Amino acid sequence: LPHPRVSPPAQHPAGAMGAAKDSLLRLLCGVALLWACYVGRELHYEVRRRQLSNDAYPQYADLWDATWAFLGMLVAQLLFRPFFKAIARANIPKKSRWSDAVWGAKVERCCDSVFKCSYYAAMTTWSFALLRGAPWTPWVLGGGGSTKFCWTDGYPFQAVPPEMRRFYLTAIGFHLSEVAMLLLEVRHPDFWEMLLHHTVSCTLVCFSYVLNYVRMGTLVLHLHGATDVFIYLSKAVVDTPYLRMTAFSYFSLIAAYAWFRIYAFPVYIMRSAWVESMEQAGAHLYGWGYLNFALCVLLLLHMYWFGAHHQDRFPLQAHRAGQGHAVELVVHGHGEQEDLVRGPRVVALALAPAGALRGRRGGVGPRWTSRGGS
């Protein structure tokens, strides 16, 4: 008898979606890199013309300071790991279900997160001090001005104060170090997401400096830095036993992310870059298409991460377990969304009634099911 025809196993929907997502991310990375190279070549002649006609205009030589900042940030982050590792180990007790490799990865993530949280806290404080009295800082970012002033006052020959120049070059160096760390580290599932993010971020910050979009650029850096403080605070404490600190960082992150990246970024920053720039300085805009493309990519990543995070529902589901009840917390894990925090389960524990947290001896206790998480 002929053998029955056996159909190949159907691909899991999640696997198919993951493959499609990675393909889209690779395509966007390629488009961003090729477009950035083309724009960079085209812009060089205009930038040189501006530099030669005005000595106060941002110079290519300034980028040497950014190079030193890049090297300093890269070395500092690599040295911070062994320096802080003992403290991280003391605050992240090893659980029985963790292998040594998993525990080591969590300790390393804590070290990196403490470093980046400290960096963003310092940079956000610095940028707020620079921007709070600036006429181009809107009220949503702590100022009292209007974003239309990003494009006035003789653009593209707006004066850049020395302190703001130092801030901007420091930010360029740090973003370049992020790319280097991503390429040097072992690849994580969110590699293509982060590569796309770092590609558009680095090109944005570099192009905006040499084209003197510094006013708009400082607003973008300030807005993202204010959110990143809570992102990395959450990642630093998510594996520690400090449940209330984790809950505080989690809800602070949600509020900051929604306010700065989901509301303020498109409504004020992107609108200014798209509309007000053409109204105020249309004849002097170069690289306008790519810069707005990069801002749109950042917004799409923000919306994707925020939406994926809100799919991380963590209901407490009580059900029968022998003579008592068990509490099951279902957690869905993601790739880069762990930047949004991989600790909803810890937050639920911090907010759960005390009776739900008793040990197994009384027949009641937490039972975790992690889907896609670590």
Residue 252 pLDDT: 94
Residue 244 pLDDT: 92
CB burial class (10 A; 0-12, 13-18, 19+) of residue 33? middle
Q: What is the C-alpha separation between 206 and 243, in angstroms, rounded? A: 40
Q: Tell me the backbone φ, ψ of residue 372, rounded to 5 degrees.
A: 85, -5
Q: What is the C-alpha separation between 274 and 296, in angstroms, rounded? A: 10
Q: What is the C-alpha separation between 246 and 257, in angstroms, rounded? A: 16
Segment 100-148, tens digit of pLDDT: 999 999 999 999 999 999 999 999 999 999 999 999 999 999 999 999 9
326 vs 340 pLDDT, higher one: 340
Segment 150-194, tens digit of pLDDT: 999 889 999 999 999 999 999 999 999 999 999 988 888 889 999
Share of the chain above pLDDT 70, in %: 78
Segment 311-323, tens digit of pLDDT: 554 433 333 333 3
Tell me the pLDDT of the chain averaged across its residues.
82
Q: What is the C-alpha separation between 87 and 119, in angstroms, rounded? A: 18
Q: What is the C-alpha separation between 21 and 307, in angstroms, rounded? A: 15
DSSP code per residue over 75-104: HHHHHHHHHHHHHHHHHSPPPTT--HHHHH
pLDDT band per the 50, 70, 90 thresholds, residue 73 = very high
Is residue 324 within 8 A of residue 363, CB to CB? The reply is: yes
Residue 186 pLDDT: 83
Residue 19 pLDDT: 81
Residue 327 pLDDT: 27
Is residue 32 within 8 A of residue 196, CB to CB? The reply is: yes
Is the predicted pLDDT of residue 226 greater than 60, yes or no? yes
Is residue 357 within 8 A of residue 253, CB to CB? The reply is: no
Q: Taken in order 368, 369, 371, 374, is the CA torsion positive or negative?
A: positive
Residue 4 pLDDT: 52
Mean pLDDT of 194-209: 94
